[in-house]
Every structure is written in structure tokens, then in C-alpha cells.
Amino acid sequence: MTDIEKKILVTIDTIGPTFISKLANRILENQNEVRECVRHFVKEKILERVENIMVSYKTKDDNVVVKHRNHTYYQLTKKGKRLAKEIEVEDFEVREAFKTYNKALQNSLDNSKKEIEEPIYAVIDFPFSQENNVKNILKDTFNLLEKTYDKTVTLRGKVHKEKLEELKNNIFNIVVLDNY
């Protein structure tokens, strides 16, 4: 489990249901990264959406605040609570709600995405038997590539370098031509 995932679980366990932008601000992380982690946790049934119109959560001083939902709030499931209790709390700060919300700080966190390399043009040739394995690695990119089915499957198009490396390392009988 990554540090950001640990922070999310421990924070929601500590403060109760919250929404993504407030959670990102409280744990001082990029909002898009928090959103992806929350989506993953919902898919794994670690977090769930709050269905009630009114939501209550805790402040830093253990005061309980009841508020009308105007965002999508998330809370821990039983599985999530169990996972949160197993995490050794590391030294990270959970900021207090409202009083310390800093929009400029959140914007700088959101805009500080790691440099993402541009995809490069590549030709990938592999046997039919490996098509599902290649699809699993490339995911949505697979559908965007030009495909030729002959004696083997040939893909042409732009692919991220790390995906090409993953293909080379995990698929046998694959030929990858890039940087030409």
C-alpha cells in the first residue's frame, strides 16, 4: 500500500466521511492522485459513497459537525475500517477542516503533477497467443493502436515508454521497435 493510500484510509478513519478535494487538502496531496486512489478503493470495496443527504464528521477537537452534502462523500466500509486499523500511523499531518483550507496551496499541489513522458511511436509484433497479455498491459492504449492481423499481431502507434518496457519484460516472442 502506498503512502497516499495509507493517509487516505487513516484520515477517513479519523475524521469520518469526506469528499475528495477536502481530503486532498487535509493530507496535502494532489487532488487527482487522491481521486484515483479513492476510485481504486471504491472498486476494491474499501470505500463507499455516502448515500445520506446529511453527513456528520469530526473536527480536530473531536467535535462532530453535521452538514448537508453538496459533494460526493466517501466513507470506509467494514473492510476499509479493518485495513485502517492495521496501518501503523506514520508522522503525517491531518489538517483541520475549514480553518486551514488554502486554495492556492491546493492549486499548487494539483498542478505539480509528475512529469509524464510523451508517448513514442512504436511497432509491436507478437503471436496471437499473447494478445490478451498485451491487452492487459496496454489497457485502453491497445484500442487506440493500429492493428494488423497476419501471421502475427502487429500494433502501430504511440505508447508510453514504461509500457513498452513492461511488454518487453513480460511477454515472450515479442518484437518492439521504437525510437526509429
Q: How many Cβ atoms are within 10 Å of 18's Cβ, its own excluded?
A: 23
**pLDDT for 78-137, tens place per residue?**
999 998 888 876 655 666 554 445 566 666 666 655 455 688 889 999 999 999 999 999
- Set out the domains of the chain in order of their start, with CATH numbers: 3-110 (1.10.10.10), 120-178 (3.30.70)
Least confident of 60-69, 142-151, 161-170: 60-69
Q: Which residues pair with 147 in a beta bridge?
A: 155
What share of the chain in percent tops pLDDT 90?
29
Q: How deeply is 52 buried, as exposed, middle or buried, from its count of CB atoms within 10 A (0-12, 13-18, 19+)? A: exposed
